[in-house]
Structure 1
């Protein structure tokens, strides 16, 4: 149940960073069903290859995969050069991210940089790299960035991510004005609770994720296809007069206080509670796929 023409995205070449898993993979699948040509990148080549094989089996189409650490400007430039050798992009989706819960006053510089490097710097490198090429070619394009609610209202115990995502929101508004005359649109989406295996393992340590979401007005988590449909609309020509906007899709979470599930409980955790949760945590983002 989509309401979209099956050729909504036909003729659009789309790059999704962190496109091998989670929401990136869900968006990629939706874009393919609507006729897009897909490129995905990330740091784990085996994950990218597996996703590309799944899509090839399902859609009968080849998916370009590129290993790229978006924290490295050299990696990003090499990736974009490789993409442009085949054909220019029409859409960039900034989806690669990293996050984990922590007491902010105990974060090391390396821990802070591990999140800012992926979320903020990586997004900036990809966006300016693609924009530079579009402007040089005299062509338009669309940049869609995936944010979080914390970008709009802050996020206790995930402060580096909130800082990074707020910066991307500012980038979206700023470049919408600067690049608008060149035919380039920038939009963003701020999702509420859309469970994924990777983020869930780092943000819900020591707690069981409920099948319902008492923190949202709709009392449930979001479904991946709901986010993917919104993103498909925003990168399509149907949204050609929308730029500089961050669209919230959170089931009304903001209107019930807006905090991520578990934050109120964390405020009362002792140092021993934090140590116990830290011991249960998987590898931090600097060791995870982007």
Structure 2
């Protein structure tokens, strides 16, 4: 006798949390012009926060800021900055402060990724991902910390689950995100006495994102894999964001929250192993793009 697969529902944060829970608050988000970080920002705005999104492409940021403002009724401003450049981040933070007068929440989400084995990756490519993900997170914290201290606010760092095991073709991101997790833990310990919290969200495969289409051969609506029956939805990460920034999580800091439907516990790889290592040409069709 077979049982029917039970698939986890997709829920909006507005069905659970008050829509004014972040009224008067401000969120600053790197990487907020698209994808997961944009959805995290949108969720915060739907609950009353204003926002500043930072990234390198001003045209894209401006379009996203206008869209977020329109659909949420809150104010979102674009702040152009490369997270590898500390002064650009300081300028973006200064613009945010000039506009809103405060920063309560920070999402450190700027990231870069592509598929490459260790022997096929250049030193510069490895360095670039470390600079964007890990050093970029440090730079973001440095630029925002005085203001987050003043508001007794909170950080969320967007990481991954790749470094929980050896993930082929992902050495650069695994190293970078392990650094992000460690940085968040130290930040939580150092800044907790000043009323600042720091946590990590580690998304698994999230459907309808550039990351999934680039890096995975999974279908975004696949029901084969995660114990909860489906690939992740942007709402899943957004809901975790609202919770961790809310007062409901006021005693949670220094933690890593995987949002992956339990797939990490299956200990599987997206590419066939060891075939993908011994005969890389045989899986080229599965590697959809590079950085």
> Does 2:255 correspond to 1:267?
no
RMSD: 2.1
Secondary structure in 2 matching 1:104:
coil
Residues 90 and 208 of structure 1, relative CA distance in 2, 3 Å threshold: closer
Asked whether the 8 Å contact 2:148–2:154 carries over to 1, the reply is: no
Distance in 2 separating the partners of 1:268 and 1:62: 48
The residue aligned with 1:23 is: 36
Distance in 2 separating the partners of 1:274 and 1:252: 26
The residue aligned with 2:250 is: 240
Aligned ranges for residues 159-174 of structure 1 at < 5 Å?
A: 159-174=171-186
Asked whether the 8 Å contact 1:139–1:182 carries over to 2, the reply is: no
Secondary structure in 2 matching 1:186:
strand
Secondary structure in 2 matching 1:93:
strand
Residues 240 and 9 of structure 1, relative CA distance in 2, 3 Å threshold: same
Secondary structure in 2 matching 1:188:
strand
Secondary structure in 1 matching 2:29:
strand
Residues 96 and 40 of structure 1, relative CA distance in 2, 3 Å threshold: same
2:110 is aligned, of 85, 92, 96, to 96
The residue aligned with 2:188 is: 176
State the shift of 1:268 in Å: 4.9
The residue aligned with 2:260 is: 250
Tell me which moved more, 97-106 or 45-54.
Answer: 45-54
State the shift of 1:260 in Å: 4.4
Deviation readout 1:168-196 (Å, 9 max, x if unpaired): 11111111111111111001111111124
The residue aligned with 1:215 is: 225
The residue aligned with 2:6 is: none
State the shift of 1:249 in Å: 1.5
> Does 2:198 correspond to 1:190?
no
Distance in 1 separating the partners of 2:89 and 2:285: 37
- TM-score, normalised on structure 1? 0.88
Distance in 1 separating the partners of 2:173 and 2:259: 18
Structure 1 stretches lacking a partner, 5+ long: 285-290
State the shift of 1:122 in Å: 0.5
Distance in 2 separating the partners of 1:211 and 1:164: 28
Q: Count residues in correspondence.
A: 277
- TM-score, normalised on structure 2? 0.87
The residue aligned with 1:231 is: 241
Asked whether the 8 Å contact 2:206–2:212 carries over to 1, the reply is: no
